[in-house]
Amino acid sequence: MHLCKDCDSGELQCTKCIIGGHSRRPLHRIQRWNGNYFEDTSLANAGLTIDLGHNPVTCVAGHGKIQSHLITVMDINGLHNVRLCWCQCLRFSHLAEELFRRQWIPATLIRPGTAFTFRVMKHFQRLSHIARTTPWDFCNVIQRLTDNIQPDQLPDIYRSFNRVQRLWRISRAYKRAGVTMCHSIGTLPCLGLQCVSCPWPGRNIPDNWKDDPDV
Ligand SMILES: [Zn+2]
Ligand SMILES: [Zn+2]
Ligand SMILES: [Zn+2]
């Protein structure tokens, strides 16, 4: 029997039900009753696979080109093993693109083994701005959320996370500044924010401020 720690229902479920109920929530943490106690396990270990690409029903190759790949995904509740499955018969784009479509950022573009959810990147950016949390401390917290007994046994994600959080930060800055692929080098808008204390005609002082007799 299985118990999901993130569903808040507290009900025990058989393997079939826990897989069926989590096909759209693959980043929940589950435990399995081993006869003596509930031990931590993963949805991938229970048999859950996430289908990428086209709907398996419309496969023109009779599922002849199925690929399977196990990756580590970091979310705000810890690290997760996720088994991905896809068929390359028709319209399957690059694996990294498929992960982006799910709002997961791959750590590398060629056959990624690690990914980070948009959710965890936003979470870290807030913590970094408000609580001054460093990437190193954040990775330690995530590892201890995953396994507080032997965090050293988990995959080392610090270097990947640190690289991706820098990319995330700069891409958010580009987005806020309206930078698109159309801008070539030299025509990039400024990423810095304008000073709110300085006088800007039409914004915090009138357009005709020169006509003001008190100026
Ligand atoms: Zn759940
Ligand atoms: Zn059941
Ligand atoms: Zn197919």
Are residues 26 and 73 both part of a single domain?
Answer: no
What is residue 63's predicted lDDT score, i.e. its pLDDT?
A: 58
CA distances for 134 relative to 55, 96, 117, 162, 172, angstroms? 41, 27, 18, 9, 18
20 and 93 share one domain: no
pLDDT at 203: 85
99 and 24 in a single domain? The answer is no
User: 125 pLDDT band (50/70/90 cuts)?
Assistant: very high
* Gap from CA of 38 to ligand 2 centroid (Å): 17
Task: Round the average pLDDT of the chain to a whole number and report it.
Answer: 88
As a 3-state breakdown, the chain gives helix, strand, coil percent values, each rounded to 5, of: 35, 20, 45
Do 29 and 116 fall within a single domain? Answer: no
Q: What is the four-CA torsion angle of 104, 109, 114, 119, rounded to 10 degrees?
A: -20
Whether pLDDT at 90 is above 70: no
The ligand with the least distance to the CA atom of 17 is 2
- The number of the ligand nearest the C-alpha atom of 62 reads 3
Residue type, 146: T
Residue 183 has pLDDT above 80, yes or no: no
Task: Give the pLDDT score at 185.
Answer: 62
Is the Cβ–Cβ distance between 22 and 80 less than 8 Å?
no
Ligand in nearest proximity to the CA of 86: 3
Mean pLDDT of 121-131: 96
Range of the domain at 114: 48-177
pLDDT reported for residue 92: 64
Q: How far is the CA of 53 from the centre of ligand 3 (A)?
A: 8
Q: Check whether residue 97 and residue 156 sit in a common domain.
A: yes
Residue 104 pLDDT level (bands cut at 50, 70, 90): very high
Residue 141 lies in a domain: yes
Say what the pLDDT of residue 132 is: 96
65 shares its domain with 25: no
Please say if the pLDDT value at position 108 is more than 80. yes
Q: 210 Cβ partners below 8 Å, 6+ apart?
A: none
Q: Are residues 159 and 71 in the same domain?
A: yes
pLDDT digits over 133-167, tens only?
A: 999 999 999 999 999 998 888 888 999 999 999 99
Number of domains in the chain: 2
% the chain with pLDDT above 90: 55
**pLDDT tens for each residue of 37-79:** 999 999 999 999 998 877 666 676 665 567 788 999 999 999 9
> What separation in Å is there between the alpha carbon of 82 and the centre of ligand 3?
21
Task: Decide if 213 is inside a domain.
Answer: no
Mean pLDDT of 91-117: 88
Q: Are residues 61 and 163 in the same domain?
A: yes
**Dist CA 212 CA 111 (whole Å):** 65
User: Is the same domain home to 52 and 42?
Assistant: no
One domain, residues 11 and 72? no
CA 6/CA 80 separation, integer angstroms: 13
Tell whether ipTM is more than 0.90.
no
185: which residues sit within 8 A by CB, 6+ positions away?
none
Ligand nearest to the CA of 1: 2
Distance from residue 39's CA to the centre of ligand 1 (Å): 16
Nearest of 25, 63, 67 to residue 46 by alpha carbon: 25
* pLDDT of 173 over the 90 cut: no
CA 39 to centroid of ligand 2, rounded, Å: 19
